[in-house]
């Protein structure tokens, strides 16, 4: 679905997104919007959507590589301990 509208820019650079856009994108006060300049076009992407896209991309890459959730979980405790030992060696000195 395409929807095009205009919104004025206020004196301090603020823009009010129409209610319809906020509702469709589940935007709440304080939510962040990424702004991307492409040539003379400005693209607005709700951060929630960008996060979902990133998660989907990571999941796709892991699936492609044959990595399962179980495989990730198996190495988690070991990786956490290794990082903790590197960052806080005094906690492990006897």
pLDDT tens-digit readout, 10-69:
999 999 998 988 898 889 998 888 888 888 888 888 887 777 788 788 889 888 999 888
Are 1 and 12 contacting, i.e. CB atoms less than 8 angstroms apart? no
> Is residue 93 domain-resident?
yes
Query: What is the span of the domain harbouring residue 58?
Result: 32-94
> Is residue 91 domain-resident?
yes
> Is residue 41 domain-resident?
yes
> Is residue 9 domain-resident?
no
What is the structure's pLDDT at 94?
65
| 26 Ramachandran zone, left/alpha/beta (phi>0; psi -120 to 50) | left
pLDDT tops 80 at residue 84? yes
| Count of domains observed in the chain | 1
> Is residue 63 domain-resident?
yes
5 CA to centre of own chain: 26
**Across-strand partners of 44?**
35
Cα Rg of the chain, angstroms? 22
């Amino acid at each position: 679905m395409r929807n095009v509208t205009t919104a004025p820019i206020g004196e301090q650079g603020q823009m009010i997104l129409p209610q319809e856009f906020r509702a469709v994108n589940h935007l709440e006060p304080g939510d962040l919007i990424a702004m991307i300049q492409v040539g003379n076009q400005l693209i607005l992407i709700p951060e929630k959507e960008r996060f979902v896209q990133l998660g989907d991309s990571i999941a796709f890459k892991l699936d492609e590589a044959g990595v399962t959730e179980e495989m990730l979980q198996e190495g988690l405790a070991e990786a956490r301990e290794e990082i903790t030992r590197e960052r806080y060696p005094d906690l492990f000195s006897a």
